[in-house]
Structure formats: structure tokens, C-alpha cells
A = this chain, B = another copy of it.
Amino acid sequence: MTQRQTGHSPAPAHPQPSRARPVADSARSDILAAAAVLFYARGFTAVGMDDLRTEANVSLRRLYQLFPSKDLLIEEVLGIWRDAWSSGIDAQVQAAADPRQRLLAVYDFLAGWFTSEGFRGCAFINSFGEVGGASGRITTIVREQKKHFQDYLADLATELGAPPGLAPQLAILAEGAITTAAIAASSEPARQARAAAEVLIGVALSPAARD
């Protein structure tokens, strides 16, 4: 694609506000950013391509040029959500001092997320609920994301020297906290899940309680 920079804008008669066009690539990220926000807030089907055009300030032509179909756009948005989740949680986890604190930092991250503006639960769970089995493509991506999270917790648990049964339980706690917080519109589940995680970790590390 040819890049264009308007070196000198001769200030036309401008019947309409023909603003200086930004670099072509910014449209792509604008669209993705708008889609990530709108899809999360209202779901895939409730957001039309027209809404995205309006929110991202691009023409429909350009939108379809960059994303030939809504499905493709949805898939890219799922990737954005995955990256945002990974980097967000990892930042909080890596800031913790020891393996135990790193595991618990997961629930501290959740607590902050739950109180953030526009929190509406896990985007992947919502996506799964929305498309159900209609889109095997989306289902696969959601499944991979959850698998990735479980592996992530498993690594943290291994780092702590915990038996392999712990990580799935901690993952279940996290998932349950997310959906409970979303539906109840409360951040309390994060603290409750954290407290439960502390108990499970403590018991898992105590030799007497080994199974």
C-alpha cells in the first residue's frame, strides 16, 4: 500500500471538514480499538458495521478494505482481548515478590478489573455465550484462551512447588469470580476468591493434607 503524506495542504474550499487525513495505518488500529470496546460492551451481533464506522471515524469502504468481513474483524478483536488480558494480568503478577504472592496477585488483578469502568465480565465467556456453538472458529479461540490461562496458573503453581491439582482449582475460582462479579455488579467476588485461594494454597502446601 502506498503511504501518503500530505506535505502541504492548500486549504481547499472545504464544503465539509476534510480534515488532514492521518496516516493510513491508523485507521486499522482505530477500527480495532473501537471494535474491541463496542463488541465488549454490547456483544457482536448488537454492534453493526455502521456503528464501527461511526466510532472509528472511517468510511465503510475503508472498513471493508481493511477487514473484508465482520467475522474476520471479530477474530482480530479476540486476539486483542487475549493480548490485553495476558499483559494486564502478567504485569500485576510479575510485580509480586514470591511465588505465593504471584498466585494471589491474580485475584488482586481481578479486583481492580471488576471495579473498572464498563466491566461486563470475561469477554471470552460472553463471546462463547453469544455465539454458542454457532461458530466453531470463535469457540476454538475461546477454548485456547482458557487453556492458556490454566497453563499460566499451572506454571505459577509449579513455581511454588504445589501439587498439580491446585492450578485447576485456582482457575475455577478465577472464572467463577469473574462471572459472579459481572452478574452481581460487585467486586466482592475477587476478595472471596482470593481468600478461598489462600486456603487452597495453604492446604496444598501442607504435607499433612496431601492427597
Contact = CB atoms under 8 A, between A and B. Distances in A.
Tell me how many chains of this kind the complex includes.
2
A48 to B, nearest CB: 13
Interface residues of A, number: 52
Contact of A180 (B46, B172, B195): B172
Contacts of A79: none
Interface string A178-211: 0110111100110011011001101100000111
A45 interface: yes
Provide the main secondary structure of the chain A interface.
Answer: helix
Nearest to A169: B196
Nearest to A143: B183
Contacts of A173: 169, 172-173, 176, 196
Contact of A179 (B175, B184, B192): B175
Contacts of A132: 41-43, 46, 120, 126
A127 interface: yes
Contact of A200 (B129, B146, B177, B196): B196
Contacts of A143: 183-185
A133 to B, nearest CB: 7
Given A120-B133, A125-B183, A199-B210, A169 B193 contact: yes
A60 to B, nearest CB: 23
Contacts of A131: 43
A168 interface: yes
